[in-house]
Amino acid sequence: MSQTASDILIDVLQEWGVDTIFGLPGDGINGIMEALRKKADAIRFVQVRHEEAAAFMACGYAKFTGRLGVCLATSGPGGIHLLNGLYDAKLDGQPVLAITGMPYHDLIGTHTQQDVELDKLFMDVAKYNARVMGPTHVENVAHLACRTALLYRGVSHISFPVDLQEAAAGGQRSKRNIKGHMSELEPHSARLPNDTDLAQAADILNGGKKIVILAGRGAIGAASELEQAAELLGAPIVKPLLGKAAVPDDSPYTTGGIGLLGTRPSQDAIEACDTLLMVGTSFPYLEFLPKPGQARGVQIELDPIRIGLRYPVEVGLVGDSRRTLQALTPMLRRHDDRSFLEKAQQGMEKWRKVMDEHAAAPDVPMKPQVVAKEVNRLLRDDAIVACDSGTIATWWARYIHVKRGQMHSLSGTLASMANGLPYAMAAQIAYPERQVVAFVGDGGFSMLMAEFANCVKYRLPIRVVIVKNNSLGMIKWEQMVFLGNPEYGCELQPIDFAAYARACGATGFSVADPKQCGGVLDQAFATPGPVIVEATVDPFEPPMPPRVTVQQATKFAEALAKGTPHRNKIALTVLADKVRELV
């Protein structure tokens, strides 16, 4: 059987180590699907119910494996559906290749069926973006797409006209397109800053008295180096959401998260620090960072464009976080004054007691903190946890504690809803022996809930824990606390997710009583195959910031006064939470 242009594409992907592709068939990619069918023993095609999920899966696969994530969609609407998940990959710096179909090459731009020039549509999301011009073009484009995504940590896109997919490989090349002139080599540099910059950074850090380390997603894999630097500098380690797994939460150095979903000790440390060491982070909420001029700054960052992007640092160390810390640490002097770190540690002891009080509340309706605490108890040391966006991220950030060896993630900079289940599916496909949990809200889960049927199809033993408040909770609280407006348009029609699980051929559990929550989750986590646990919780439980500002309190009062629905219940819930913190 003669080789086609699509066969060439799949061969190149194999050369780059691709063994999994997420996608949905369509007549605009029939040639590529045939090439995948012929290589089914080498590359696994994972069918999705919606192309957005395929892009999320490719992004999650890249996050959890460090490898190239690949998604495939047909021409027109199929390719358009990929965009949200691809922007998730772009904004979180993950290597993803998107392959899309196009109409017949000689009918593009003539109002033909599904005539969307996807290469033009993808210009903003992709670091590399090409339209295949013929069979002899495929190999060159595919190599460069894979290389760009991996080395520049972003999205590559190949758009492939449907008739060219089935064209015979080979044919007449241009005189300059010499066969075999490209390779799949993935070069790596030492990724280390120069000695002068390292010395300047060490001088600043050695001179600081109240130092904070802010460790983001780029610091994952450098836990030992971060803790060594924290020990020398007497510095607490503060973690943005994407850096949650940078160091385990039982580390004596970390004060947990930062921002609206963070901890009070983290906020206190940031507000009091005189020196800031930023490691692999572009944390976007500038209002939670030190005020410009408050602290001297050093930043370790692989992407030089991001140096000084969030805070006016004096020294930028361009390099890999782990290797750069290994080079920097021998230059650091041990700070004998441990008072700043000790104060942060004492603050964390108090914070954890307050969080434990919330998680032990016997109230009915059940508090979401109760569910998060019980999930945390059941996580194995090898667990992979995928969280969604919304109030669910607050409970994940504060109550699900990272252990050394675990992996955790969510849609960080894009903060998209609906990523939780696709991330979890990608993780389970990549690591079939590990425990995988999707910790999601009812709003996010319902957006792509059809994908759960594929958990059954592919026998993925994922535990999907849905914290159900029948509301777009985070949006509701933002309307009230940020703008002082009554909530509007945020209530959701209830869905019986346990019944849905059973309809898909899986197992479903429901729990609404905090006294039964632990037992139900024990049973669910011990059940073979994919499982949904629907945990119905108090819709009026607020995702409180670590410290309420006067402006936030004022806006909240304004929203209640203007007629927020259920304002009496909301006010009583907030009051009860504050009393728990004071008692």
* Four-way CATH pick for 360-582: 3.40.50.720, 2.40.10.10, 3.40.605.10, 3.40.50.970: 3.40.50.970
More confident residue, 286 or 561: 286
Checking if the pLDDT of 246 tops 70, the result is: yes
Element (H, E) at 284: none
For 195-346, CATH gives 3.40.50.1220
Q: What DSSP string describes 298-345?
A: EEEESSGGGTTSSS--SEEEES-HHHHHHHHGGGPPPPS--HHHHHHH
Span 321-344, pLDDT tens digits: 999 999 999 999 999 999 999 999
pLDDT of residue 482: 83
pLDDT on residue 163? 95
Over 90: is that where the pLDDT of 56 sits? yes
Instruction: Give 295-321 pLDDT, tens digit per residue.
Output: 999 999 999 999 999 999 999 999 999
Residue type, 394: T
* Cis peptide bond upstream of 486, omega within 30: no
pLDDT at 84 over 90: yes
Specify the pTM: 0.94
Contact between residue 59 and residue 87 where contact means Cβ atoms under 8 Å apart: no
**What pLDDT was estimated at residue 185?**
66
The residue among 476 and 216 whose pLDDT is bigger is 216
Domain covering 5-165: architecture = 3-Layer(aba) Sandwich (3.40)
Mean pLDDT of the chain: 93
Q: Which of 57-61, 108-112, 168-172, 263-267 has the lowest mean pLDDT?
A: 168-172
d(CA 466, CA 392): 9
In this prediction, residue 404 carries a pLDDT of 95
CA separation for the pair 564, 192 (Å, rounded): 54
Q: Which pLDDT score, from 0 to 100, does residue 1 have?
A: 64
Residue 278's nearest CA partner among 248, 249, 258 is: 258
Query: Which of 370-373's residues contact partners 24+ apart within 8 Å by CB, and which partners?
Result: 370/514, 370/517, 370/537, 371/395, 371/465, 371/467, 371/517, 371/521, 371/535, 371/537, 372/396, 372/398, 372/399, 372/400, 372/439, 372/467, 373/399
pLDDT for residue 285 is more than 50: yes
Average pLDDT over residues 272-301: 96
Return the domain boundaries, the chain: 5-165, 195-346, 360-582
pLDDT of 543:
86
**What confidence score (pLDDT) does residue 545 get?**
82
**pLDDT score for 555:** 75
For residue 574, what pLDDT band results from cuts at 50, 70 and 90?
low
Contact call for residues 63 and 11 (beta carbons, < 8 A): no
Q: Among all chains, which residue has been given the structure tokens 């994972």?
A: 46
* The pLDDT of residue 211: 98
pLDDT at 583: 41
Calculate what percentage of the chain has a pLDDT beyond 90.
85
Residue range 438-476, pLDDT digits in tens: 999 999 999 999 999 999 999 999 999 999 999 998 988
Please give the Cα distance from 299 to 295 (Å, whole number). 13
Percent of the chain with pLDDT over 70: 95
Cα–Cα distance between 13 and 58 in angstroms, integer?
14
Bridge partners, 463 (sequence order): 437, 531
Inform me whether the pLDDT recorded for 345 exceeds 60.
Answer: yes
CB-based contact 386:409 (threshold 8 Å): yes
pLDDT at 582 over 60: no
The band of 579, judged by pLDDT with boundaries at 50, 70 and 90, is: very low
Q: Is 575 exposed, middle or buried (0-12, 13-18, 19+ CB in 10 A)?
A: exposed
Topology match between the domains 5-165 and 360-582? yes
CA distance 403 to 465: 19
Residues in CB range of 74: below 8 A, 6 or more apart? 24, 25, 26, 27, 28, 29, 100, 101, 114
Q: What is the pLDDT of residue 557?
A: 74
CA end-to-end distance (rounded Å), the chain: 77
pLDDT tens digits, one per residue of 166-186: 999 877 777 677 677 776 666
Average pLDDT over residues 133-137: 94
